[in-house]
Chain A
Amino acid sequence: MPIKKLAFIVDKLPYKAETSRLALTHAISSQTVEIYLEDGDNVEPVLAFVGDGVLNCLKDQKALDHYSISSMEMHLKNALLLDLKVLVCKEDLESFGLTEDSIVMDAEEIGGEETTKVVPYDTILQEMDSSDHILYF
């Protein structure tokens, strides 16, 4: 029963381009991939934000109010609700003067139990190393 690990690495800014949104929606689609696979086979996604990509994780995004589109914040909370592993690069967050208080750390208000992990870049590199395939957005 193979489980293939897919690392979704996001280093692009949100909204001007749809790249980072597509990273999240593709990662979230791992919830239904089983319908295409043999019984017991599955994919294990890990979603990591590096470089400018950490800015996708800021709280209080108002994209829905102003542009009538789901915000990256909403997608991130969905990812946490669905128990996806979400990592944010510590060094890159700090380089922007940001802390855990600035970003989406959980989805408790919608019943999510998983939390965002702020980790060193080396940890994310290890995830890339241990994955079967890397999808770099």
Chain B
Amino acid sequence: MKLAVFVNSYSEPAVPDRLTAEKLGIVLVQNGVYHAALKKDGGASSVLSRDANFYALSEDLQSRGFTDADVDSKVKVINYDDLVDLIFNDYEKSIWL
């Protein structure tokens, strides 16, 4: 399946390793954007080591004081309009963890 997983909190593990899909998109929203923008003890968030496509919601990044420049290079910054396109065009199912 093509599955979008919405991560809304800054906790580990963000997405269980056993949750897999043919195409996995990890969408960082709300406090989940901290996974994209912060390094803890010098290391990127472990969620970014998953074999997945990563997205972070720009409105939630900016609300928290981050800019695109703060975001890990693996993560694509998207807005709500882009998110709608992702949901309809790229991922047939979505879950909110």
Contact = CB atoms under 8 A, between A and B. Distances in A.
A92 B94 CA distance: 23
B69 interface: no
Contacts of B18: 121, 125
Given A128-B1, A129-B1, A134 B20 contact: no
A133 B3 CA distance: 10
B95 A51 contact: no
Contacts of B1: 128-129
Interface in A38-54: 51
B20 A136 contact: no
20 contacts: A9-B95, A11-B97, A51-B16, A121-B18, A125-B18, A125-B19, A125-B20, A128-B1, A128-B3, A128-B93, A129-B1, A129-B21, A131-B93, A133-B93, A134-B93, A134-B94, A134-B95, A136-B95, A136-B96, A136-B97
Interface of B: 1, 3, 16, 18-21, 93-97
A82 to B, nearest CB: 25
Contacts of A125: 18-20
A128 B93 CA distance: 9
B33 to A, nearest CB: 20
Contacts of B21: 129
Nearest to A132: B93
Interface centre among B16, B18, B96 (most CB of A within 10 A): B18
Contacts of A9: 95
Interface string A1-26: 00000000101000000000000000
A128 B95 CA distance: 10
Interface in A87-137: 121, 125, 128-129, 131, 133-134, 136
